[in-house]
Amino acid sequence: MTEPAPDERETPAYMTSEDARRSASQTPMMRQYLAAKAEHPDALVLFRMGDFYELFFEDAVEAARLLELTLTSRNKKDDEPIPMAGVPHHAMAAYVPRLIEAGRKVAICEQMEDPREAKGIVERAVVRVITPGVVLEDSILDHRSNNYLAAIARGAGDGPVELVWIDVSTGERRGATAPHLAAALGELGRIEPREILVADDDGPLAVAVAHELPGVAVTRVPPRGDGGAEAMAADYIGETQKGGALLLRDLERVELHSSLRLGPMTVRNLELVRTLVDGKRKGSLLHLLDQTRTAMGSRLLKQWILFPLAGLDAIRARHDAVQGFLEHPMLRDDVREALGGVYDLERLVARVTAGAASPRDLVALKDSLGRLPALSAALRESDAPALAALADRLDPVDDARALIARALVDEPPLRLQDGGVIREGYSDELDELLAIAREGKSWFTRYEAELRAQSGISSAKIKYNGVFGYFIEVTKANLHLVPDTWLRKQTLANAERYYTPELKEREDKVLGADSRRLDLEQGYFEELRRA
């Protein structure tokens, strides 16, 4: 049998987002979604609905294929049902990396108010856009490599080409001017960006970049004649963060002649950072040399290998520092031991600044800062000027470290919403609410015993469910013993449910304490993150 041509194959009929925009029968919720999608047409929009992030229309079809999700639909009986797929909100961190690895952008559309307090439809807004080159999530990043966003811009003819490359996860920001396009593309090959920005009015440049660097996401953006590559990158990053702050260093201008020129073929054939056989790090020169103790050191070593020094003074300064460690093995051991307890400070600080740090991130920051005094003391013992000078640049930020230690428990839960993040003694109000929660169970046990003794109903039980709250359950056989002070709450086939003013008061206190406690912890943590 002859297989039909691709354009003759029968494809499922479903409504696209463009079809929906032209439709007059949009629900308020769908209008919200379509507005978010119109704002980010090139991204997969994850739309928060209760405990799930939902995708609709063509986004759902694509996400279902990439993530192996079940594709369902809204309005199934319509001629053109709306494709729909979703992921649990607590599992988002497992799914987003797969979309980014596939080269997709993801727009996170959150609920901006508590659904219980919303008047009408819940307000929603896109709070952040994650792209291959603008990533803060540790689950997506390779801790041993930078995750660069690059921008390239050129003037007329075959003149100089501006390059900017930024790692938002570490704050690094660098720029250079290449003499011509071929040199610029060679530098991009060494830099290994995950995403490259090109002005959308320079189609030939976009084609050249895509051809020279296959597999790298090329994004067309509005041109910025006044600021070139740097302005394009700044605008793009600002759009992804939706007003959130990112801590980026001042732009460091790189003179390309300060390092040896290594073309992509040279880097590849010498297996400097990955092997020819499988393209993996293991077996490369970098893998052999990398005995670093921190993620920051591993990333820096990779840069040193790809950009070997060309200036004699810089080479001598680096050799002097290395010699200082070679001649003093005890110093080397002390420094390595101190660095062993240091987490990825660059990326921790970036997440804190962006308001994306978790409780565990802040504890890791505190523990890392706590290692700096020992590191500084070890470096001061060196007679190598370059190493001794480093000690003066290490600031343990004692005030911040002490504040985190006072506010957070030593081993906080993974998620802030799980509670139990703030240390006892930090807030009197929070301590009182914790005491109420702890005493709640024992109070209900004591009160149940009192009710049994007062009424003579030995089988009376205090129970709880999410719909009716706390209640006293009495079997039909004992209804004649129920005191007048017990108020009826619900009738069942074989029992009646009651409550008392005391029980209701305690219920309000316990349930309110749990909710208030989580709200307080959230507030204290946000204050701490901004401090």
| Cβ(369)–Cβ(362) below 8 Å | no
Rounded CA-CA distance 450/456 in Å is 10
Other CB atoms closer than 10 Å to residue 118's CB: what's the count?
A: 12
β 252-253/172-178 pair status: parallel
Phi-psi region of 407 (alpha: psi -120 to 50; beta: other; left: phi over 0): alpha
The number of beta carbons lying within 10 Å of the beta carbon of residue 266 is 14
Say what the alpha-carbon torsion angle 250, 251, 255, 258 is, to the nearest 10 degrees: 50
Query: What are the DSSP calls for 478-520, one per residue?
Result: GGGG--TTSEEEEE-SSEEEEE-HHHHHHHHHHHHHHHHHHHH
Residue-wise burial string across 154-178, b where 16 or more C-beta atoms lie within 10 A, e elsewhere:
beeeeeebbbbbbbbbbbbbbbbbb
| Nearest Cα to Cα of residue 201 among 153, 160, 133 | 153
Contact 120, 31 (CB under 8 A): no
Tell whether domain 428-530 is in CATH 3.60.150.10.
no
Q: Which residue in the block uniquely carries the two structure tokens 């006293």? A: 472
Q: May I ask the CATH class of domain 12-130?
A: alpha beta
Mean pLDDT by 10 residues, the chain (531 residues): 41 65 77 92 94 93 93 74 89 91 92 82 92 92 95 84 96 94 92 95 92 92 84 92 82 90 89 92 95 96 95 92 92 93 94 90 96 92 86 90 95 87 93 82 89 94 89 94 94 94 88 85 90 76
**All CATH 1.10.1420.10 domain ranges in the chain, comma separated:** 311-407, 428-530
Q: pTM for this structure?
A: 0.81
Tokens of 179: 């003499």
End-to-end CA distance of the chain: 70
Which two structure tokens, joined as six digits, stand for 388?
């001794």
d(CA 88, CA 30): 20
Of the candidates 41, 33, 35, which has an alpha carbon nearest to the alpha carbon of residue 86? 33
Query: Tokens 């946000």 label which residue?
Result: 526
> Three-class SS of residue 151?
strand
Place of tokens 């993996």: 280
Number of CB atoms found within 10 A of residue 242's CB: 13
Q: Confirm if 481 and 455 have CB atoms less than 8 A apart.
A: yes
List, in sequence order, every residue forming a beta bridge with 479; answer none if it has no partner. Answer: none
Residues of the chain with CATH 3.40.1170.10: 12-130
Nearest to 161 by CA among 208, 195, 218: 208
Give strand ranges (E) for 63-203. Answer: 72-74, 82-88, 105-111, 124-130, 149-154, 161-167, 172-178, 195-199
Question: Phi and psi for 130 in degrees, rounded to 5?
Answer: -100, 125
CATH assignment, 311-407: 1.10.1420.10
- Angle, helices 359-380 vs 398-407, to 10°: value is 140
Reduced 3-state DSSP string for 163-226: EEEEECCCCEEEEEEECCHHHHHHHHHHHCCCEEEEECCCHHHHHHHHHHCCCCEEEEECCCCC
Report the distance separating Cα 258 and Cα 308, nearest Å. Answer: 9
Does CATH place domain 143-258 in 3.40.109.10?
Answer: no
Query: In which residue ranges of the chain is CATH 3.30.420.110 found?
Result: 143-258
- Which tokens in the block code for residue 479? 């209804």
Strand-by-strand arrangement of the 52-56 sheet: 72-74, 82-88, 52-56, 43-49, 105-111, 124-130
